[in-house]
């Protein structure tokens, strides 16, 4: 499976934090920090907008790196993605992603 598919099925290569990191694009970091701060009602700084992908080695956006329950569960179960979990279709953690994002669901081959 593509290593840029996150545990939840989202495609990290389409994430603006990944794109900003890959292209070292500070203008995009500023834009994303503002948008994500407003959307999540938390303070996100441009310096936080750095990520090399959920399942890749390297830097992670703070939420993805240490707070994402989906990622933490997948790592603990030593799964490639949630698609390899027998409970994926009844999992409350991943339900919000795969229930609202057909591409993510398809990426998990469900």
Please report whether residue 96 resides in a domain.
yes
Full domain range(s) for residue 78: 12-107
Residue 97 lies in a domain: yes
pLDDT per residue as tens digits for the range 53-105: 999 999 999 999 999 999 999 999 999 999 999 999 999 999 999 999 999 99
**Cα separations in angstroms, 49 against 3, 29, 98, 108:** 20, 6, 24, 25
Domain-located, residue 25: yes
How many CB atoms sit inside 10 A of residue 28's CB?
Answer: 17
Q: Which of 54, 66, 50, 51 is nearest to 2 (CA)?
A: 54
Residue 85 within any structural domain of the chain: yes
Residue 6 lies in a domain: no
Rounded to two decimals, what is the model's pTM? 0.91
């Amino acid at each position: 499976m593509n290593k840029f598919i996150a545990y939840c099925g989202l495609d990290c290569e389409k994430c603006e934090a990944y794109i900003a990191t890959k292209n070292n694009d500070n203008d995009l970091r500023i834009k994303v920090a503002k948008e994500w701060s407003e959307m999540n009602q938390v303070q996100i700084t441009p310096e936080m907008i750095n990520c090399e992908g959920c399942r890749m080695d390297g830097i992670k956006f703070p939420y993805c790196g240490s707070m994402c329950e989906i990622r933490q569960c997948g790592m603990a179960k030593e799964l490639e993605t949630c698609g390899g979990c027998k409970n994926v279709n009844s999992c409350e953690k991943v339900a919000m992603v795969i229930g609202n994002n057909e591409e993510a669901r398809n990426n998990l081959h469900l």
